[in-house]
């Protein structure tokens, strides 16, 4: 079984790339972030014609999350319990989809954690609150069912370690690397989830479009996969598909893939 996460930075712009990736990679469940469209604008037909099941959640041209699955979808959850608002709106940043996988019901959360913008911006406080509420929800899921198969995947907008950015000096005083953000990211692991890609693969997952960041390999590692205890023990391999950042029309993020027994 293969699960992947990918900040696609507009699904309507890159639908052909996603379809080609699915065919080439043989991924079973793909979580997307930054789909950047309303539900009625999502290009569902090409995926359904290819035999996939879909769940999508988008409110406007910002944010947006989706899950594309080879397995039948059993349940869809829009947002998690306690998900914070920003300017009185619960943004389209979290979608939980339970699929009928060979291992049993598997819940994949496609998560697009807020950027934070600047350390003194209200969006930064929102980001920390968002992660704190996600931790609370994740605690509840494991308390309810310690053996649940749950994957929390997506663009976390946090570089947890210094090696996850190309130059710590460049990021001094900026978001993504601040101690509170790193602590909030690590807190998901403190409640029983395990970030499963770190021991298996090393690479960046994001390169800005500006200043030739990708050719210079000046990137960030901000896309991760947290797994519940019952799921984490099934991990067999992981991959960061750097080639997806190449060519015309690439997203600024690349897919992160995890194999499970």
Confirm or deny that 34 is annotated as ligand binding.
yes
| CA angle, residues 198, 200, 201, in degrees to nearest 5 | 75
| 52, 71, 112, 206: the active-site residue | 112
- CA 79 – CA 61 distance, rounded (Å): 18
The alpha carbon dihedral of 49, 50, 56, 62 has a sign of: negative
Give 3-state DSSP helix, strand, coil % of the chain, rounded to 5: 30, 30, 45
Judge whether 53 counts as a catalytic residue.
no
In angstroms, the Cα distances linking 155 to 4, 44, 234 are 12, 22, 22
Strand order in the sheet with 53-57: 53-57, 65-69, 29-33, 2-7, 256-260, 235-240
Judge whether 253 counts as a catalytic residue.
yes
| 57, 124, 155, 241: the active-site residue | 155
Instruction: With beta carbons less than 8 A apart as the criterion, state whether 67 and 78 touch.
Output: no
Confirm or deny that 53 is annotated as ligand binding.
no
User: Residue 97 has which token pair?
Assistant: 């989809």
Instruction: With beta carbons less than 8 A apart as the criterion, state whether 209 and 252 touch.
Output: yes
What is the torsion angle, in degrees rounded to the nearest 10, for the CA atoms of residue 113, residue 247, residue 238 and residue 181?
A: -20
Confirm or deny that 155 is annotated as ligand binding.
yes
Q: In degrees rounded to 5, what are phi and psi of residue 178? A: -70, 150
Confirm or deny that 75 is annotated as ligand binding.
no
User: Residue 58 has which token pair?
Assistant: 């988008």
Instruction: With beta carbons less than 8 A apart as the criterion, state whether 67 and 95 touch.
Output: yes
| 53, 57, 176, 253: the active-site residue | 253
Binding residues: 7, 34, 155, 157, 252-253
Binding residues for Mg(2+): 7, 34, 155, 157, 252-253
Active site residues: 112, 155, 253
């Amino acid at each position: 079984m293969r699960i992947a996460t990918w900040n696609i930075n507009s699904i309507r712009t890159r639908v052909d790339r996603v379809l080609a990736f699915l065919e080439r990679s043989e991924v079973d469940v793909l979580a997307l972030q930054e789909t950047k469209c309303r539900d009625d604008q999502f290009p569902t037909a090409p995926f359904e014609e290819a035999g996939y099941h879909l769940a999508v959640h988008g409110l406007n041209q910002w944010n947006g999350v989706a899950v594309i699955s080879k397995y039948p979808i059993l349940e869809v959850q829009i947002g998690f319990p306690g998900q914070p608002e920003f300017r009185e709106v619960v943004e389209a940043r979290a979608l939980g989809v339970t699929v009928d996988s060979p291992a049993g019901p598997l819940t994949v959360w496609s998560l697009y954690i807020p950027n934070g913008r600047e350390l003194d911006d209200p969006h930064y406080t929102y980001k920390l609150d968002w992660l704190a509420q996600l931790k609370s929800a994740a605690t509840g899921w494991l308390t309810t069912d310690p053996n649940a198969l749950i994957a929390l995947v997506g663009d976390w907008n946090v570089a947890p370690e210094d090696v996850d950015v190309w130059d710590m000096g460049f990021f001094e005083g900026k978001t993504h690397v601040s101690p509170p953000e790193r602590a909030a990211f690590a807190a998901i692991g403190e409640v029983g989830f395990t970030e499963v890609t770190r021991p298996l693969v090393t690479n960046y997952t994001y390169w800005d479009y500006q200043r030739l960041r990708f050719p210079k390999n000046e990137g960030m590692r901000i896309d991760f996969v947290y797994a519940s205890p019952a799921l984490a023990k099934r991990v067999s391999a992981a991959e960061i598909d750097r080639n997806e950042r190449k060519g015309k029309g690439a997203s600024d993020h690349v897919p992160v893939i995890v194999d499970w027994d």
